[in-house]
Structure formats: C-alpha cells, structure tokens
Structure 1
C-alpha cells in the first residue's frame, strides 16, 4: 500500500471536497435495462452509452460532483465522438471510480439475507481498472431488517467481504468506498433502524481493523438512520438527522476523511432535505466531511425527461445539473425547499 499512500490520501480528500458529492452511476446492465423498460427505451448498449454520455457531458457538473462511480461497461465506453468517458471525466475535473462487487446473492443458511460476491480475482481487476484511470472503488453490502434479521452471520460475512475488498483496493491504489446499506424496505421504526445500523457499523469497523485497512484512506458510504418505508410513523427530517449523526459519531472513527450518504430509495427532495438538516443542525458535531453519493435521487428527473429521445438531452442535462446543485447546497447546509422551484 505504501506505493500509493499519498495518492490515496489526496484522492479521498478530493472525493469529499466542500460542496461536492459523488455521483453513483454504477447501475449494472440489468438494473439500467429495467429502468429503461419502464420508460420504453430500447435496452441496447448504444442507448446505455448515450445515457451515460448525457450524464458525464453535462456542462459544469464538476461544480457539484467530485467523481462518479462507473460500471464495468461504462468505464470501457466513449462518447459518440470517440473520447473515452474516463478522459471526459478527467478533463472536467471529476475522479473516475468503479463498482467492484459482483452483486448480492442468497446467504446460505440465512433465509432472507444476502452476501455480496466478487472477491475472487479482485486484485487483478483492481490493477486493470487503475491502469484505465479509476482512482476509487465501491463495494455494496445489503442488510435487510425484519423481526429476526439481520443475523450476526449475515453481518459478519458482509463485513469480512467489505474489509478484504477495502484492503485490496488500498494495496492497488484505489480509495475504497465501504458501503454497508441498511435497507429502507420494511415496516420497522427508526429506533430499530438505529439499532441495526449501529451493530452493522460496529462489525464492519472491527473487520476493517482486523484487515489493516487505513481509515484515513477510505470513504464510508452508509445509509441514513430512517424509518422503514412501510412504517406507520415516519420520523421527521430533524429526527433522522439527529439519530444519523449520533449513530455515526458513536461508531465511525474520526480519522475517516468523509462520509458520503446513499439515498437508499428516498424521494429526491427528502434525501436532499435530510442531508441539509445533518449539516445545518448537527454539522458542528461531525469530525468527518459529510456529503452525498446519490444515484436515482440525482439522475431520475434527467432519465424521465430524456426518455430515450436525444432531442431532449439539453433539458435533461439541465435537470441533472439542478439536482446536483441542490445536493451541493445541502452538503453545506444551504438548501431550502424554495430552491426546488428554480
């Protein structure tokens, strides 16, 4: 890891620069195709390429986006004019990242729980992506909440995989984004979410320590502490912000450079409002930089407007820029709902 020590530190800090977040545009081919199908967009590589180009060539996007997580297909693609997407990002001042996990599969012996796969051959894949220009990576673990889950088996299996991935990334020159996502699906209360999120973070950081991951050269990508989407009592924006910050302060080392929240299926405006409240009301309590790493909460308006019609690209890009701008404001505690009307 020593070969990349300074580079890793610089990249990690740049990823969470003030007023900027990380765009999660790493949807797999299958996920992207399902979103296209809902809008009756042809599920072809060329349409996916065009959509990625729409995002990455949005004028001035780098004002609010420090980097973007790409899928394997995307990092190998180029613009219609033949410019590799990685170069487009570098020229715009955005850091290329790559999704390294190969998806969540059923965890043997644990009904209703998943474990993320992709460790086999990972060292070689990291070396290839580094040569292609990637400077950070992402690995997502999914933790479901129900009456009897998550099990300690599930937490241990996923934390171990996250830690091994992170160690290999730092060895190979990529800043690891460690993403233990506690799912919003279910009828659980915010108190139950807090309990599960806290235990998840405890197990993850225990494994990171055991695997000798340098905390100051990684980024945490957690979910917020939030009510299950089917819970009859939905926590207020202030309650989500307070409990999220409390949980993170109790379980995340101060040496971690930054926390970049996932949106986790929240409505666009709500994800922005929660991030803003974390900064505006509790930002002084946070020893790490705190920002966003959203996918649909930034991209969905642009995708809906584009709808596969390339004459719609300029307006779709304006919508993408606007959501990035709003979240950039929220990452400094400067967002208000009135800004949505702009």
Structure 2
C-alpha cells in the first residue's frame, strides 16, 4: 500500500468543493431509465450518453471524478479513444463500481448483503491498468420491523472493509457506501439510530482490516424520514441530524464524506448539502460534498432523449446541476440559481 498515493488521490477527488458524478448504473438499470424517454438500450447509446456527460464543457470545474460501470471503462469512444483517456482529457478522474450487487442474506428475511469479493484482487489490478484511480462498493441497509439486524450490519461492514483493503493494496481509493434506504414510513429518529449503528459497524470493520482511513472516502446517506413517513423533516432538521450523526461516528482521519441523493428530488439533495455546509461553516474535519447519480443526470437525460441534436442542451442541464451542487458543497447555494439554466 502506498499511503501517499492514496491520500493524494483522495484529496484531488475532494478538491475545492468538487463532487463525483455516478455513472455506474448496470445495463438493466440504464435500460429502465432510457425506457422512460423512449431510448433504445443499446451499447452505442449507453456509450454516447455517458461520453456526452463526462465531456460536458467546464464540468471539471464542479466534478472531479465519475464512477463508471465495467462496460463503460472498457469502451472506446466514437472517435476511437479509450473511455478513461477521454475522461482524463476533460479533467475527470475515472472510477469504477466493483461490487456485483446486493443479494438476499441467508437467514435474514428482508435484508441483503453485497457480493463481489471473489476475484476482486485481480479485477482491481486490471481496472488500475485501464485507468481507474478510485472504486465504489455499495451496501444496502433496510429499516423495518426489527431491521436492520446486527447480522446484516456486520456482514455488510465486513465486505466493505475487505473491499477497501484490496483497493488500497492496488493503489485505488475506495469509496465505501453503506446506504440506509429511504423505503418505509420510519421517522427521522429511527433513521438516525439505524445510520449510527451502520457507521459504527463499518468503522469497526475498517479498523480490523487495517484500512488507511486517510486514503478512503465515505459515501453516506443523509438522515431522513422514510419516503412514506407521515411527517417529513425540514432542510435544517435533516442537515443538523446528519451532522450530529457524522460527528458521533465518523473518525476525523477520513478526508471526506460524499453524500448520495438516495431518492431525494434534485433540489432537495442540493439544499440539504448546502445546509450542512452552512451549519458547519467549514469546521468539520471532513469535506462534505456530493456523489449523485440521478440527482445530477436526470435533467440531462430528459433533454437528450437519444438525439444528437440535443447534446448541447443536455450538457447545459448537467452543468447547471453540477454548478448548483458545487455551490452547495461550499455552503453558497441560492435556490434562485435553479432558474438560471444556461
């Protein structure tokens, strides 16, 4: 493990309020999103869509890296360049999703464990050669009757920690993502408790596996009521609860927390991030930024619709959302900016 290389990459990814663009949807998931706009789920369409996003003019001012799916990292662009090289030419660091998905956890009805450790050392070596400098592994934690269970939390924490250790061995910065799902009718206090349990298990496991905390990034859920809760929480309440949970459970050695949007609206995800950075006013030991998929992509996909004539307007839509989220990562977001799409 080269700690200085890992720390340098992590600092770069978290530089000056920049965030991450998640483009790691599997082929079936990408197909579902394309279907909403009548786009055929072909390899060329997936290539052209993702190339359009990462080649958006000026995107590197707001986004430091993009998380790719295996297929995308192996692609060449329409003009023959390896995808990773095209990204580097636009100032975007390539990352790669390495887990193989969440599967039912035996003996734990309603809960899942993420798989993909088999052969991961070899895959990481290949991904590094292909240009990836960071990776992502997502675990999913469900809140429900008696859930999450201790067994589920431990199983997912151990998998995340083993993945992180293998990434660092390959000089790839691991993003560890224990997502606490918004499904359900739980209140914000229940979410806080589940998130706290999740983070405690995670950092215990990372310690056990001797993972270098200064060379990783936490991709965290915000503390929110369930989508079907009778009472939703205000922006300030969500920000305060999330910060309180982070301060209680995330070591200061971690350089940054990149939040997932987790089913929030585009604007809500931005407003919550901004509120955290305003409340904290730069005092936290970690950078607080974004790692969004749909909350960055959706307006661009809606504008593009698979038509090359719409590339400019689609790129403008992505740049607008990225610009708003950079402002939020700096605690400078103004909701009025939502009206200023280029």
Q: Is the 8 A contact 1:36 1:43 kept in 2?
A: yes
Secondary structure, aligned partner of 1:221: strand
Q: 2:275 aligns with which of 256, 265, 277?
A: 277
Question: Shift of the alpha carbon at 1:284?
Answer: 3.7
Query: Distance in 2 between the 1:44 and 1:113 partners?
Result: 32
**TM-score normalised by the chain length of structure 1:** 0.98
Secondary structure, aligned partner of 2:32: helix
Secondary structure, aligned partner of 1:293: strand
Which string of whole-angstrom CA distances, capped at 9 and with x for unpartnered residues, describes residues 100-131 of structure 1? Answer: 00000011111111100000000000000001
1:87 lines up with 2:85 in the alignment = yes
The residue aligned with 1:52 is 50
Q: Is the 8 A contact 1:242 1:282 kept in 2?
A: no
Q: Is the 8 A contact 1:56 1:89 kept in 2?
A: yes
The residue aligned with 2:145 is 147
Question: Shift of the alpha carbon at 1:258?
Answer: 0.6
Q: 1:107 aligns with which of 105, 108, 119?
A: 105
The residue aligned with 1:228 is 226
Q: How many residues align?
A: 340
Question: Shift of the alpha carbon at 1:266?
Answer: 0.5
Query: Distance in 1 between the 2:87 and 2:35 partners?
Result: 28
Q: 2:70 aligns with which of 64, 69, 72?
A: 72
Question: Shift of the alpha carbon at 1:30?
Answer: 1.0
Gaps of 5+ in 1: none
Q: CA RMSD in A?
A: 0.8
Query: Distance in 2 between the 1:319 and 1:340 partners?
Result: 11
Which string of whole-angstrom CA distances, capped at 9 and with x for unpartnered residues, describes residues 216-254 of structure 1? Answer: 100000100011111010011000000100100000000
Q: Is the 8 A contact 1:259 1:288 kept in 2?
A: yes
Secondary structure, aligned partner of 1:51: helix
Runs of 4+ in 1 over 3 A off after TM superposition: none
The residue aligned with 2:21 is 23
Q: How does 1:68-217 map to 2 (within 5 A)?
A: 68-217=66-215
**TM-score normalised by the chain length of structure 2:** 0.98
Query: Distance in 2 between the 1:90 and 1:66 partners?
Result: 10
Secondary structure, aligned partner of 2:21: strand
Query: Distance in 2 between the 1:95 and 1:8 partners?
Result: 14
Query: Distance in 2 between the 1:174 and 1:114 partners?
Result: 26
Q: How does 1:273-312 map to 2 (within 5 A)?
A: 273-312=271-310
Question: Shift of the alpha carbon at 1:78?
Answer: 2.1
Gaps of 5+ in 2: none
Query: Distance in 2 between the 1:157 and 1:107 partners?
Result: 9
Question: Shift of the alpha carbon at 1:6?
Answer: 1.5
Q: 2:236 aligns with which of 235, 238, 241?
A: 238
Question: Shift of the alpha carbon at 1:92?
Answer: 1.9
Q: Is the 8 A contact 1:241 1:282 kept in 2?
A: no
1:39 lines up with 2:37 in the alignment = yes
